[in-house]
Chains A and B, each alone.
Chain A
Amino acid sequence: DAGVIQSPRHEVTEMGQEVTLRCKPISGHNSLFWYRQTMMRGLELLIYFNNNVPIDDSGMPEDRFSAKMPNASFSTLKIQPSEPRDSAVYFCASRGLATNEKLFFGSGTQLSVL
């Protein structure tokens, strides 16, 4: 299995631009999580989906952030417009019924907003 696949690995953009982060969960997993990691705030849960349905998006910072999961094998996290304070590492993670509730993380997307 290829694991959780995130793209791009690195993203550098200018303030005001739209940023789209992508995630392919492990095949067969039915829960998907988006986290953001910074030195100041640690790992913050932004949103998670069960069976493609958003369950809790209370961690999404503001309306500039949106996440979708159109099918079981793909999710996007979009920031529009981006701001320098959005600079962070964004992780996607998935888990399934057979994985004993543990999360499998992708390698993350390092986002820098200039």
Chain B
Amino acid sequence: SQQGEEDPQALSIQEGENATMNCSYKTSINNLQWYRQNSGRGLVHLILIRSNEREKHSGRLRVTLDTSKKSSSLLITASRAADTASYFCATDAGFGGGTSYGKLTFGQGTILTVHP
């Protein structure tokens, strides 16, 4: 079963609006990552947040992490048509010994459509 579950499954907005996607997970994690996938392509890493962090920013992206609720959110501000893609959260449960080179488990993804 998937570790992460994204919500909503699909999101349709107008250019300039903000897009918020949520991710819930079940087990303890070392870090949580967000990836983007354009149709027919491989996934591309967007941002990583560690279990001891609560919020992180990168350009128009803002990620929050609430380990008590086992949830994360990805906010894309001032969306553009080029942001149209599928967005996935991935959890890294670590590998013991303090390293995080464990397996990355992906959720089902949110399909974001931004209309020009």
Contacts and interface: CB of A to CB of B under 8 A. Distances in A.
Interface of A: 4, 31, 33, 35, 42-43, 45, 48, 50, 55-56, 91, 93, 95, 100-108
B10 to A, nearest CB: 13
A106 to B, nearest CB: 6
Interface residues of B, number: 23
A80 B55 CA distance: 46
Given A33-B103, A103-B35, 12 more contacts: A31-B101, A33-B104, A42-B107, A42-B109, A56-B103, A91-B42, A93-B42, A101-B33, A102-B48, A103-B90, A104-B45, A108-B41
24 contacts: A4-B42, A31-B101, A35-B106, A42-B2, A42-B106, A42-B107, A42-B109, A43-B106, A50-B95, A55-B103, A56-B103, A91-B43, A93-B42, A101-B33, A101-B92, A102-B45, A103-B35, A103-B45, A103-B104, A104-B45, A105-B42, A105-B43, A105-B44, A108-B42
